[in-house]
Structure 1
Amino acid sequence: MSPDLPPVAPSVTAALVAALPPRLRKRLDAGVTKLLARPVTRDGDTVRIAVDDGTDVVLHAPGGSVTGADAIRCGCLLAPDCLHRAAAASAAPVAEDTPDPNAAGESGSAEDPGPAGEPNPGADGDATKGTAEGEQREPETATSAQHAAAHAVFDAAAAVLEAGTDGAGAVLQAELLHAAHTARLAGLPRASAAAVAVVTAVRAARAADPAYRLGDLAGALTAVLDVAHRLPHATGPELSALRGTVRQPYRPDGSLRLYGLFSEPVLTATGYAGAVTWTADADGRLYTVSDVAPGGPARATGAADRAVRVGDTTLTHRELSRAGLAVSGATVSPTGRLGAGAGVRAVRASGAAWQDEPLDRLWAVPAADQVTRALEGGQDVLFLEVTLTGTVRETAGDCLLADCAGVSLRLAAAHDDPALPCRENLRLLAAAAGSRLRIVARLTPGPHPRALLLAVAHPTDPAARVDLGLDRLQHADLPRETFVPPGGGAAGGDEAPLHLLRRRVHQAVPGGRRVLALAAGTPGDAARLRRLGLATAADLLDDLRTAAADRSRDVFGRLVPADRGRFARSWLAAAVYTEVVEQALCVHAWGGAARAAAAPATA
């Protein structure tokens, strides 16, 4: 996947790959690799790839993304049914199908329309029955088109899981993108978005993208398989949640008095970049203002100095993070994002320091309560007061160690891209061991307390703050009396017995079914899980290995195709179980009540 190319809509990639004859499909992965090595030039909305001295592939991306197959043109003799067009679409980031909620046309005064293709409950006899007065309605169920779309998504995602990232080439990716497009047309935007997220992560893995994380791809596969598996059987509110919405509803919220908290850069694997500024009102409710569009690291750093898109204010994101905002006619999404409709008015107001009211109350909430709230579906941003104690070395780089009310906490950089100062700022903070600071971090769920560091109070000026993804710390900003060379401690191992199941779940993601099939005859892990009291985990591990190794033969002794559906369901059950138990361990590790947060039903 090349960040130099504009994002391409899933339906475009699926159509171009489907149009290839079988002989060219076999060469598609090699074509993508070759195209990624060719020079790319951009001229406004036009991106040109030099295939060779006399042939170019041209991508026309008005508005920043390619939305039609005719927007990708090639000058070779085989065009338009050539390999180059499909390879270019497969090499580009996947465009997000959802419209920008902050677009100029967003009214922000009422709930946004439902997803395209959303069934009318009163028009489908399978969805609702008994409309006469006094007659009880039956629970709404998915339509036949949604059943078919959910099965298509599940089958395509199961094929990717069976092959693993090593075997999930451009053809399997295109099949999953086609299923995502079908789901979107059927009114299933949540399944569509989850499928696109898997393709994006698979491409990052195959391209050895430094930002790729195995856990992220495993989570994306879990999400898409879970939604597609549960949706055909869901009814009522559960069905509505599984369907999702194309765009979040923005509802009127009257007048707001907001205080800036911090800004963070946004840099996604799908080719989008920008900045998000977090604010809070007098009651401690969080609101965000975002400016995210197609782009790379330069846009992520530059967006902080752009004016926020709320009303007529000229405040930049960097300024708003330390000032305030008075908004009238505000519209807000369920996640707290401020709308930018024509009726919204905003003017600059005074801000507040983190240790002053009303922001001080954010740090008064116990860490365990904040973690529980995040795991139950709330904002995953934590407001903590910590004492820096040193560093610990991990595979992905050094982490800060901190003490948070007796809890040993690891703080990692939010972004690894060298264009952003996150990693360098973390290294400098490691030299301030002994400093007690207020921080803002994003929870990383797991059996050990861990978070991504977003912002900190200035080490020598508590009234100031540092946005670690946008501002650059200097040695002069550190307290001299606590300056020590960064430590190099070794990372502690994850000895929780659950890792015996988790590592098999993760092992299947890059290697596919065949990797687990090779390990089917080693029952030692399951026996150890049973000895430690995790009988359910042991049963799930046994079932996963059995499903991976299950290959029957026909009457002539030939191997028949594996039941990828069974393997996907076994893997999903193990993945969901691991996620639920890890959430419970996460709450316990942060010192909260030993109860798991709300989690999806098991597969």
Structure 2
Amino acid sequence: MSQDLPPVAPAVTAELVAALSPRLRKRLDAGIAKLADRPAVRDGDTVRISLDDDTDLELHAPDGTVTSPDAIRCGCLLAPDCLHRAAAASAAPIADDTNSEAAEGGSGQSSATAQTPTGPGTAGTAQKAAGQEAADAGQKAAGQETSGAGQKMAEPETADARQCGAAHALHSAAAAVLEAGADGAGAVLQAELLRAAHTARLAGLHRAAASAVSVVTALRAARAADPAYRLADLAAGLRDVLSVAHRVPHATGAELAALRGTARQPYRPDGSLRLYGLFSEPVLTASGYAGAVTWTADAQGRLYQVSDVAPGGAGRAVGAADRAVRLGDTALTHRQLSRAGLAVSGATVSPTGRLGAGAGVRAVGASGAGWREEPLDRLWTVPVAEQLTRALNGGHDLLFLEVTLLGTATEAAGDCLLAGCEDVVLRLTAAHDHPALPHRDNLRLLAAARGARLRIVARLTPAPLPRARLLATEHPARSGTRVDVGLDRLQRADLPTAPASLVRAAPNTEEAPVHLLSRRVQQAVSGGRRVLSFPGTASADARRLHRAGLATAGALLEELHAAAAERSRDVFGRLLPSDPERFARSWLAAARYTEEVDRALCAAAWPG
């Protein structure tokens, strides 16, 4: 995906790909790769790509987004039926249908109009809040509908034919993507999923549509070897799309309202606020958005976010912290606000705590507070068990912990920082792996300060062992100094000189082997049905799950492999096409099971 191109609406990409002949569809992925090597030049609202000395491809984005197929013009002889227009649309970032600025990463989004995040680390926190709000509204509406004289409760609302049709189309498109896996889901399958997402949004299925778009952006990141790509995020997106599409035709009342979701996060007036900066974190998403988010808290410990997220790449993520926050008249940068304070009048706030930046909002800089001073100190006095319950049940997923650094441990995904937290050993990992961001370098340097007792802010990662992504920490050698792990670079000279010890955590023989199932779930997302279709690959793992008392997990694993391997033959002995619907149902059952087991094991692993 090229960050030099303007975002293109999903419906535009779907229409241009659908218009290609079968011969050109087969060449689409190669055409995208060739287009990526061509320079793009921006001239006002137009981005021009030179295909050769005499032929240009132009994308017109008057409002920053390409919203019509006619806005992509090609000068080649085959235009408008050429491959170039569809290739350009497929290579560009995906525009959000409802909001001009979208972001992922669980970091609170653009201060005025950001979309619910569905990206790495959040477990859909803001999306859950939006869904819960819709569920509450649906429950209230269903409970208050009565017939005049008899006060008879009305029948619960059900999905209409249009929504059922959109859900079926979305399920089929997502099942086709799962069948092919990230390795085989090229631009044509991505366009089919975008078309289904657009249809779902028009039918009012906003949650499923947003998840489908996030799946396409993750697929593009996977195929481009983008450092922002995480297989777990792609699996979570597919799980949500298939879950919602499966349940919509059968849901009623509050459940249906939650499954539909909302098009926009509503902002409510919240009067005057006195906020204290906590930390800032960079945002760099697979969907082509970047920036920074600053987290703040009021005197009662409620969290609010001020953000600046817009189309861009790693350079914007690195530089956004030194831009002035877009809120009222304040001249504070995000980096300054994370250590200072803010006085806001006429504030508007979304259900997830994002501060609006409307014309009536006034804000000026104010004094801040240290992490060990009131009112911020109270965030670290909340019991860990209470913080964990909040994060696992739809609240924000930030953890405010006091830890003792222990060293490092080697894992398959790289080294992680070990820290003692009450009676457990916590694994702290990098919140982002992009080399332009200092997360991993800072983790490596912090290991030199083993024995230091520090306050940290981390984002929970549901897993069988205590795990979180480190976002901010006290400086191990400078009292009263904070470090935003994704923005500030620690210097080796400022840290203790003792070498970091490599701590190898002994394997826990009592650990439930649920990973035998979750590994297959993720393998299917990466390689598609065919990687699970080989005979004899499930029996040993299934027996081990049964011996561990996980009979359901064993049965799900056997059914997943059986669905992957099932191929019928016609009367001439020729293989018939596989059944992607059965494989999708089997995969979804396994994915939902592992999600719930991970949540349960996570809750049990932490102290409390």
| TM-score calculated relative to the size of structure 2 | 0.90
Paired residue type of 2:420: D
Shift of 1:186: 0.6
Counterpart code for 1:486:
A
Structure 2: distance between partners of 1:272 and 1:297: 9
Query: Which of 546, 557, 562 is 2:573 aligned to?
Result: 557
Checking the alignment, whether the CA contact within 8 Å between 1:130 and 1:138 is kept in structure 2 is: no
| Contact residue 275 and residue 291 of structure 1 kept, 8 A | yes
Deviation at 1:255, TM superposition (A): 1.8
Of the structure 1 ranges 209-218 and 81-90, higher mean CA displacement relative to structure 2 is found in: 209-218
Higher mean C-alpha deviation, range 549-558 or range 401-410: 549-558
8 Å CA contact retained: 1:127, 1:141 = no
Contact 1:128–1:140 (CA<8 Å) still a contact in 2? no
> Deviations for 1:61-91, whole angstroms, at most 9, x for unmatched residues?
3343322212222121111111011111112
Deviation at 1:284, TM superposition (A): 0.8
Q: In the aligned structure 2, how far is the partner of 1:415 from the partner of 1:399?
A: 13
Could you tell me which residue of structure 2 aligns to residue 13 of structure 1?
13
Matched, 1:413 2:413: no
Counterpart Cα distance in 1 of 2:167 and 2:507:
39
2:112/2:355 contact within 8 Å kept: no
Matched residue, 1:98: 98
CA–CA distance in structure 2, aligned partners of residues 189 and 89 of structure 1: 22
Select 1:332's aligned residue among 325, 345, 349. 349
CA contact (8 A) 2:9 2:95 kept: yes
Return the letter of the residue paired with 1:377. Answer: G
Give the aligned length: 575
Taking the aligned partners of 1:580 and 1:60, their CA distance within structure 2 comes to 45
Instruction: Give the residue type in structure 2 aligned to 1:298.
Output: G
Answering whether residue 362 of structure 2 is matched by residue 348 of structure 1, we say: no
- Is 1:212 matched with 2:226? no
Q: Who is 2:174 aligned against? A: 157
Q: 1:234-253 to 2 correspondence within 5 Å?
A: 234-253=251-270
Q: Mean Cα displacement is larger for which, 151-160 or 369-378?
A: 369-378
Tell whether 2:92 aligns with 1:78: no
Equivalent position SS for 1:518: coil
CA distance in 1, matches of 2:19, 2:416: 48
Deviates further, 44-53 or 235-244: 44-53
Equivalent AA in structure 1 for residue 73 of structure 2: R
The equivalent position to 2:594 in structure 1, one of 564, 572, 578, is 578
Q: 1:127 touches 1:143 (CA, 8 Å); kept in 2? A: no
Indicate conservation of the 8 Å contact 1:394/1:491, yes or no: no
1:142-541 matched pairs, under 5 angstroms: 142-478=159-495, 480=496, 483-490=497-504, 496-519=512-535, 522-541=538-557
Distance 1:476 1:332, change over 3 A: same
Alpha-carbon separation, structure 2, partners of 1:212 and 1:539: 31
Counterpart of 1:176, as a letter, is L
Cα distance in 2, alignment partners of residues 423 and 521 from structure 1: 36
User: In terms of mean alpha carbon deviation, does 31-40 or 385-394 score higher?
Assistant: 31-40
Give TM-score scaled by structure 1 length.
0.90
Check 1:44–1:459 CA distance in 2 against 1; reply closer, same or farther (3 A cut). farther
Whether contact under 8 Å (2:111, 2:326) holds in the other structure is no
Task: Tell me which residue corresponds to 2:104.
Answer: none
CA distance in 1 between partners of 2:260 and 2:192 (Å): 21
Q: What is the Cα deviation at residue 533 of structure 1? A: 0.4
2:50 — aligned with what?
50
Return the offset for 1:400: 1.1
- For 2:51 and 2:507, how far apart are their aligned partners in 1? 48
Report if the CA contact (8 A) 1:323-1:349 is conserved. yes
Q: CA deviation at 1:337?
A: 0.7
Q: Which amino acid aligns with 1:18?
A: A
Any unmatched runs of 5+ in structure 1?
A: 107-113, 593-603
Partner of 1:24: 24
- C-alpha contact 1:400 1:410 (8 A) present in aligned 2: yes
CA shift at 1:340, angstroms? Answer: 1.4
Query: In the alignment, which residue of structure 1 is the partner of 2:4?
Result: 4
d(CA) in 2 for partners of 1:413, 1:522: 33
CA distance, structure 1, for counterparts of residue 22 and residue 336 of structure 2: 56
Distance 1:521 1:446, change over 3 A: closer
Q: Deviations over 1:123-165 (max 9, x none)?
A: xxx9999754523211111111111111111100000001111
| Cα shift readout 1:366-386 (whole Å, capped 9, x = no counterpart) | 223212211111111111111
- 1:575/1:297 CA distance change after superposition, 3 Å: same
Identity of aligned residues (%): 72
Distance 1:55 1:329, change over 3 A: same
1:62 aligned counterpart, secondary structure: coil
Partners in 1 of 2:478 and 2:437 — Cα distance?
23
Cα offsets for 1:12-43 (capped at 9, x unmatched): 11010001011111111111122222333334
Unaligned runs of 5+ in 2: 102-109, 115-129
C-alpha spacing 1:526/1:328, structure 2 compared with 1 (3 Å): same
Measure, in 1, the Cα distance between the counterparts of 2:261 and 2:360: 27
Question: Which has the higher mean CA deviation after the structures are superposed, 9-18 or 305-314?
Answer: 305-314
Contact 1:56 1:75 (8 Å CA) reproduced: yes
**Contact 2:143 / 2:153 at 8 angstroms: preserved in 1?**
no
Q: Whole-Å Cα distance in 2 between the matches of residues 314 and 195 of structure 1?
A: 38
Q: Distance in 1 between matches of 2:74 and 2:501?
A: 54
